[in-house]
Amino acid sequence: MINTQLIKRLQAVVGKQYVLNKESDLITFEYDGSVDRSQPTVVVLPSTSGEVSQLMKLASEYDIPIVARGAATGLSGGAIAEQGGILLSLTRMNRIVEIDPENQFAVVEPGVINLELSQAVSKFDLYYAPDPSSQQACTIGGNIAENSGGPHCLAYGVTTNHVLGIEVVTADGEISWYGNRTRECPGYDLRGIMIGSEGTLSIVTKAILRLIRKPESVKTLLAIYKDLDQASAAVAEVIGSGIIPAAMEMMDDLAIKAVEPAVHAGYPENAGAVLLVEVEGLSESVEEETFEIEKVMDKYEPLEIRIAKNDLDRAKLWAGRKGALGALGRLAPNYYLIDGTIPPSNLVEVMSKIKEISAEHNLPIANVLHAGDGNLHPAILFDEKNPKETQLALKIGGDILKLCVDKGGALSGEHGIGIEKRQYMPYMFSTDDLKSMTKLKTVFDPKSLLNPGKIFPVEPDQLEGTVGQSSQISKVGNNAYL
């Protein structure tokens, strides 16, 4: 338990109303979008970098873990205070500090909602490219921690490609800037090291983000296929031909059955798969690229290819894709979402194998994926009230992750490692690789107070006796990983 003296010192930094340690308050902060749960000992809501610095110094003085948290939309357990301690909620730090339309960048605090940034800069004919499916709720700080992607990152790259500089608070409370307002910065890329480090090396308190000019022309296509193999083959050939659309998304039949009654996006419920493809740029190049993509997709006998007639039509098609995960609640009480990547050339084989795994274990798997860059999102449907189903879902998730690595892919495309995938790290990285990573962690966080227990494999007995205990789901998951 955190002693009364520390609670008073935390209150002195941020104000009494922004320090929460009642059971009823802590329950709200015990989970993110993953299947794991664990209550923090205390939640603190700072409003400035200076306050974060003071809080880090207190955490170091008391040797207590500290976990940064944004909107809790993460899907790997990265924002869970598994070992208890201080959970640092950064949602009050939600100011857009500066917009520079001439140089096309914005300076923001970590609690700024992703979509709200694009809305704020829209009047300058600009937008922020990374667009996770949780774009309406997720925060920039969380995006930086997980190096988030999104549908349009196929053409424009993930978060790290759009962050010019970051202000961070290190484990000893020091405030530093890594990177700057220009694209090139000599010396070691400490900015790049922090992005995707899942809050284990520092806490981001400001970010300088690159903005992009809105395209002259946009075309959105919906290709409807009878079966998943046809759609997968079409994706592989489009990408293999060297055409890189702005976005290329796929949903299988199970995802369509969940989405269409909820969103009414116009996806045929009898389809085996749909592809949502977006092309943007100069009007002439958009026309040429759309023609070439249609030619390739026609080779795989689509039932229909539709082109959005206007912005409203386009928004309707995207509403289905963006609302896919929320709609899965129509099919099952719970889902376990996996985030692995593969080369697009292996898409047909891997998607077929996932269907086989689903049939073999008699658990439905709905597939929603950033198909163009091979970023899979199989959602294993189960009921957490059935312990056997829970354990089976976690085992299936591990099998799919191993399949991705075996086929030349990676354990994550955008969700991070967190708790959910840490035991699989040795499957992808050598012992020497992991030692080098842990050495880097030690340099920035010698006491291992920043988001401890994430990313790197842990032994079950390492979690015994921790301040906050994970739920039974988490324990089942950890055992399944070993």
Residue 385, pLDDT > 90, answer yes
Question: What would the two tokens of residue 203 be?
Answer: 């806490």
Question: What would the two tokens of residue 449 be?
Answer: 């107070």
**What mean pLDDT, rounded, does the chain reach?**
92
Q: Which of 136-145, 201-210, 460-469 bottoms out in mean pLDDT, i.e. has the lowest?
A: 460-469
Q: How far is CA 295 from the centre of its chain?
A: 33
- In this prediction, residue 185 has a pLDDT band, given cuts at 50, 70 and 90, of confident
Q: Does residue 332 sit in helix, strand or coil?
A: coil
Q: Tell me what the mean pLDDT of segment 238-257 comes to.
A: 95
The topology under which CATH files domain 96-213 is: 3.30.465
Alpha-carbon distance values, 117 to 112, 138, 371, 444 (Å): 7, 11, 26, 30
Residue-range domain boundaries for the chain: 4-89, 96-213, 217-406
Q: What strand order describes the sheet that includes 247-252?
A: 304-307, 217-225, 273-281, 247-252, 365-369, 378-382, 334-337
Q: Which of 115-124, 261-270, 306-315, 371-380 bottoms out in mean pLDDT, i.e. has the lowest?
A: 261-270
pLDDT reported for residue 183: 77
Phi/psi of residue 212, each to 5°?
-120, 145
pLDDT reported for residue 458: 87
Distance CA 250, CA 367 (A): 8
Paired strand residues for 221: 277, 307
Please name which of 229, 252, 262 lies closest in space to residue 364, comparing C-alpha atoms: 252
At which residue do the structure tokens 């096309």 appear?
104
Distance CA 360, CA 136 (A): 36
Residue 479, pLDDT > 70, answer no
Distance CA 164, CA 185 (A): 9
pTM for this prediction: 0.92
Residue 159, pLDDT > 70, answer yes
Could you report the per-residue pLDDT of 397-406, keeping only the tens digit for each?
999 999 999 9
How many other C-beta atoms lie within 10 A of the C-beta of residue 179?
Answer: 21
217-406 under CATH 3.40.50.150, yes or no: no
4-89 under CATH 3.40.30.10, yes or no: no
**How open is the CA angle 93-205-173, to the nearest 5 degrees?**
120
pLDDT reported for residue 473: 37
pLDDT reported for residue 482: 21
Could you report the per-residue pLDDT of 201-227, keeping only the tens digit for each?
999 999 999 999 999 999 999 999 999
